[in-house]
Structure 1
Amino acid sequence: MKSVKFIVLLILSISLLFGCASVENEQENIQQINEEKSPKKGGSINISVTRFDNLNPLLNNDKSLDHALKLIYDSLFTLDENYNIVPKLVNGYELSNYNTKLNITLKDNIKWHDGANLTSEDVKFTIEFLKKNNSPYSFMVENIQNVNIIDNKNLEIIFTKPYAFAVENLIFPIIPRHIEIVDGNSLIGNGMYKVAGYEKRRYIKLIRNEDYYSKKPYIDEINILIVPDTESQENMLLSFETHINKADEVISGKFPSSTFNIHDYTGRDYEFLALNFNSEYIKDINFRKALAYSINKNKILNDIYLNKGKMVSLPIYPESKYYDKAMSDYDYDIDKAREYIKITEFEDINLKLLVNKKETTRLKIAYVIKESLKQIGVEVEIIEVDEEGINHMINSGNYDLALLGWTLPTIPDVSFMFQGRESLINYSDEKINELLSNLRQSTTEQEKIKNYRQVQKHVKDNIPYIGLVLKDSHVVLNKNIKGNLNSTHFNIYNGIENLYLITD
């Protein structure tokens, strides 16, 4: 009996011993995993840009380089991941005199990469440079009448006329006054990375700016490789020569999840159905409502765009504070569509739908619309032509519907809807012009939001076009990169300070 008790005690002791060891090992493993997941400083990554003609951030016309130069140069303001304006170099600002005067105070202790202090003079110099030169950013300073220097940290910008989006225009890079010629050997910026080396047509080497005034990035070095074209950029990502790249389309299986992470963000391409208001059918609001209810936008988004986009009634970023997500839209409802068709009393309805024959995605949408309208007794003839043919037919008015696209501007001013396309779709509306004028002349954020709501409601009620999809864009990252990137179309590297490398 004693021997049995001894054996039991021995077994219990051994179990406890190995149990404790197992717990300790498990805790060590958890600690190791947590350490691997915790952001650590260090490492080097490669990105790429296509060949360019000018390294000056204000004169450069290459979009891929523009994104990369935002690692070197900061602006007065920038756009966050929700496309709302936020201060960057600015500590405080105040609009007054009905949005014709802007007082700005710069943040303290901001230095150029050569150690010189950033001052109000640099801001004035940048604005004057944009006014004198042909730059992609020149339109942003057209409304600036004068810049008055108060002291090194304070300045006053005088605008020619009131404009609600005056601050949103101040998102161009600020360059140093004391650097006369900007080239690879004199890229003196104020951003989180600074230039450590440059070889023409080969690379730009960046290192972390240890004197950066805001959150410093984890990654030590970024090598910007200069390549011939976008195809080369994608191939270098797939061959692991670069770590991050923008992708226009993410084809299934192209970027396997075992190797890459795909970050989707709201893009600029807004697809819509244009309506020709010279057509007797289109002039009838009940017919337009029938069209709006009969088109299955969810099917278009899910089946054609593979859910890589967002349905928005107004061409504005849905994450923006100006867009009212709560406002109802014309969700697919074939019964309501039939009710509105009956109200019109139209019979034997035949419509011409224009589509670019080279745009395969729009062609697919055209046939979805054709089948949808057939359910409410409307026959659709799809006219497949090239871009020149579309322009000719739109100008001649020989169509009813057309599948077109808008490229959303960086500045959230929706006036563009009725400035270029208005004559093309023959839509005239004094009320919308009045609402857009009110929006552009808003003097407070609350007033701007209110006026945006009114524009959105008017567009919903009157259906000058039928919005379909605001397409997503994509950034593909090597799996070894962790952290949150908050890409926007304005800056795909927005949030790069949050990224860090893990090692195998």
Structure 2
Amino acid sequence: MIKSNLRNFLAVVLLTVLFILTACGGGGSDDEIFSIDDFEQIKTNEDEAIEGGTITFGLVTDSPFEGTLNYNFYSGNPDVQIINWFDESLLTIDENYNFTQDGAATFEVNEEEKSITFTIRDNVNWHDGEPVTAEDWVYSYEVIGHPEYDGVRYGSDFTIIEGMEAYHNGEADSISGIEIHDEKSFTITYDQFTPSLLASGIWTYAMPKHLFEEIPVGEMSSSDLVRREPIGMGPFIVESITPGESVTLVKNEDYWRGEPNLDGVTVRVINPNVVVQSIQNGEVDLVSTFPTDQYPDNKDLSNVQYLGDVDNAYTYIGFKLGRWEDGEVVVDPEMKMADVNLRRAMWHAVDNNAIGTRFYNGLRWNATTLIPPSHPDYHDETIEAPTYDVDKANQILDDAGYIDVDEDGFREDRDGNELVINFASMSGGDTAEPIAQYYIQSWEAIGLNVQLLDGRLQEFNTFYDRVEADDPEIDIYQGAWGVASDVDPTGLYGRNAMFNYPRYASEENDRLLAEGVSEAAFDQEYRQSVYKEWQELMVEEVPVFPTVYRAIIIPVNNRIKNYAVDFDESTGIYRYQLAVTQDEAFKAE
């Protein structure tokens, strides 16, 4: 057992480290606490827009973007930030994340037949002038369901389509549940008709079949049409790409909603370390993300307006509990982090309220469950998740048999063997290193020897490559998830979900996830009760634990008109409406 004076000493050191690191790299120059409720979501500008003009969008990342520029194949957020400028969903969503009839296509639901019929508008065209057809949309399903598909999209949203699994397994040449009626309409019939379908359960992105059909499916993700000359149906057209660095786009005069106001957009990679300088100097008008820890010291910049919203996301600590084999999670009870007591103690050991306050001045805050408050109908504030309690963490470990046998200050495992826990965390932003070190110090305070993987932070692509590959050197990791419009968490925690990075599975988890998308779940109260149970299960079993919920804070140059945190029906603002009031960006005074 660790001696009590060592525990107290480590707790004092931990508190000191937190305040030192905050002064050096986290939080603002004062103790001012902010609230997301104080921010507008739309950039209004009373000045008159000029005709044309171009803007620069800063893609904030500490590594080159991968360049997989197609909705069917991308896997990282930097790539989709680019795709969103030149391609788009055929369906739009409202403020409650439900599909509307205001997008490039409309739909008609037949619950009795478990089917949905889609009709694409006549004036929706690809950038080469060819019409977007029913075949194009269906082709997207055929590619994702194909046995040779090498992307990450195939999952429960597709397997519930009638005949999809037979097609995916190579037992059929077509998907029996999809029927094309004419050039612009088709119907999908489902084996299971779920409440998720009318939120994010429909794949709403088409592929230009006339361009892709000569490319083998297994080679599509590396083809020029994905990497060098991507094509879409959105308001801007890709003109040129500097791989990993920038993309130049020009307006699509034939865009179905109307001709864009801007002449073009340049997307350029901006390192998180210079994002403030780039905004101050007017080098960028907009950014994909802004480090909330840098807001307090820069809140008074004269050349921007800050917009904000609750992010559909959470940061979390994940525990490796198994591996990915043949499209399914295989739980391994011999994994280092297999004991739920060890995982729960590590949750109790960290003070996420302090992280949110000291590093982010209130713009991130303690997270409790894996359904964030961006989904207020389902996020359950009443659930009692583990809170910061060093004494309780120590007691849990003592009772579970994690004892400091050799009295070196670190606990051995339950068999008396040395216990070293390898922790993977990403680089990016001023607070990445101090926060990682804070967690390490927090766990040291309860006698756990946690070491940063390879002794350093991992860059974005390397981090996710290793986590996804179940690198045996990784025991725990710090990640973040953006959640889908629909509340269904199967895509992140289902047994057949590739993104289930902790490799967690249980029969109870299977049951609750299935119930959440059952026909009974069309009753919202029933669905809410199911996801309350699921949130409680995750708190009980701790395959991961959420650390903080997040605010989106976006600085927008004062020359910008008609910009929204979300371009959709919830704001009534779309990218083609973006405009500027003068040729040059404002610089900070």
Q: Tell me which interval the TM-score lies in, with the shorter structure as reference length.
A: 0.5 to 0.7
Deviations along 1:147-170, one digit per CA (max 9) or x if unpaired, are 212344432113466666455243
Please state if 1:46 is matched with 2:46. no
Please state if 1:417 is matched with 2:532. no
Structure with more of its chain in strand, by fraction: 1
* Preserved contact between residue 47 and residue 223 of structure 1 (Cα < 8 Å): yes
**Structure 1's 334 and 275: CA in aligned 2 closer, same or farther, altered over 3 A?**
farther
- Give the C-alpha shift of residue 248 in structure 1: 6.3
**Structure 1's 441 and 59: CA in aligned 2 closer, same or farther, altered over 3 A?**
same
* Preserved contact between residue 76 and residue 170 of structure 1 (Cα < 8 Å): no
* Preserved contact between residue 110 and residue 212 of structure 1 (Cα < 8 Å): yes
Please state if 1:148 is matched with 2:148. no
* Preserved contact between residue 377 and residue 528 of structure 2 (Cα < 8 Å): yes
Deviations along 1:163-218, one digit per CA (max 9) or x if unpaired, are 66455243453244555698699976433x243x83464863422647634xx587
Of 314, 338, 357 in structure 2, the residue corresponding to residue 302 of structure 1 is 357
- Give the C-alpha shift of residue 323 in structure 1: 2.9
Alignment match, 2:421: 354
- Give the C-alpha shift of residue 302 in structure 1: 1.7
For 1:273-292, list aligned pairs within 5 A.
274=319
CA distance in 1, matches of 2:473, 2:240: 54
Of 517, 537, 542 in structure 2, the residue corresponding to residue 458 of structure 1 is 537
For 1:55-74, list aligned pairs within 5 A.
58=72, 64=78, 66-74=80-88
* Preserved contact between residue 493 and residue 500 of structure 2 (Cα < 8 Å): no
**Structure 1's 71 and 444: CA in aligned 2 closer, same or farther, altered over 3 A?**
farther
CA distance in 2, matches of 1:426, 1:131: 23
* Preserved contact between residue 106 and residue 153 of structure 1 (Cα < 8 Å): yes
Of 310, 315, 331 in structure 2, the residue corresponding to residue 270 of structure 1 is 315
For 1:219-234, list aligned pairs within 5 A.
219-225=261-267, 229-231=269-271, 234=275
**Structure 1's 103 and 341: CA in aligned 2 closer, same or farther, altered over 3 A?**
same
Letter in structure 2 aligned against 1:356 = F
- Give the C-alpha shift of residue 431 in structure 1: 2.3
Please state if 1:479 is matched with 2:558. yes
Please state if 1:246 is matched with 2:325. no
Alignment match, 2:375: 320
Alignment match, 1:102: 116
- Give the C-alpha shift of residue 319 in structure 1: 0.9
**Structure 1's 444 and 497: CA in aligned 2 closer, same or farther, altered over 3 A?**
farther
**Structure 1's 183 and 427: CA in aligned 2 closer, same or farther, altered over 3 A?**
closer
- Give the C-alpha shift of residue 138 in structure 1: 4.7
Deviations along 1:436-460, one digit per CA (max 9) or x if unpaired, are 2322445654254442222113334
CA distance in 1, matches of 2:520, 2:513: 14
Of 184, 189, 206 in structure 2, the residue corresponding to residue 158 of structure 1 is 189
CA distance in 2, matches of 1:345, 1:238: 53
CA distance in 1, matches of 2:500, 2:187: 39
Letter in structure 2 aligned against 1:455 = W
Alignment match, 1:170: 202
CA distance in 2, matches of 1:62, 1:209: 29
Return the structure number with greater relative CO, CA threshold 8 A, min gap 6.
Answer: 2
CA distance in 2, matches of 1:187, 1:98: 37
For 1:325-336, list aligned pairs within 5 A.
325-330=380-385, 332=387
Question: SS where residue 456 of structure 1 aligns?
Answer: helix
- Give the C-alpha shift of residue 75 in structure 1: 1.9
**Structure 1's 412 and 41: CA in aligned 2 closer, same or farther, altered over 3 A?**
farther
CA distance in 2, matches of 1:127, 1:77: 15
Please state if 1:438 is matched with 2:515. yes
Question: SS where residue 564 of structure 2 aligns?
Answer: coil
Please state if 1:92 is matched with 2:107. yes
How many aligned positions are there?
A: 448
Of 428, 437, 442 in structure 2, the residue corresponding to residue 363 of structure 1 is 437
* Preserved contact between residue 105 and residue 121 of structure 2 (Cα < 8 Å): yes
TM-score of the aligned structures, taking structure 1 as reference length: 0.66
Q: CA RMSD in A?
A: 5.4
* Preserved contact between residue 238 and residue 255 of structure 1 (Cα < 8 Å): no
Please state if 1:198 is matched with 2:239. yes
CA distance in 2, matches of 1:499, 1:271: 34
* Preserved contact between residue 278 and residue 397 of structure 1 (Cα < 8 Å): no
Question: SS where residue 365 of structure 1 aligns?
Answer: helix
CA distance in 1, matches of 2:564, 2:136: 30
Alignment match, 1:75: 89
Alignment match, 1:6: none
Give ranges in structure 2 of 5+ residues lacking alignment: 1-43, 165-174, 214-223, 322-332, 405-410, 413-418, 427-432
- Give the C-alpha shift of residue 244 in structure 1: 1.8
Give ranges in structure 1 of 5+ residues lacking alignment: 1-34, 372-377
Alignment match, 2:251: 207
Alignment match, 1:5: none
* Preserved contact between residue 289 and residue 340 of structure 1 (Cα < 8 Å): no
CA distance in 2, matches of 1:380, 1:355: 11
Which has the larger Rg?
A: 1
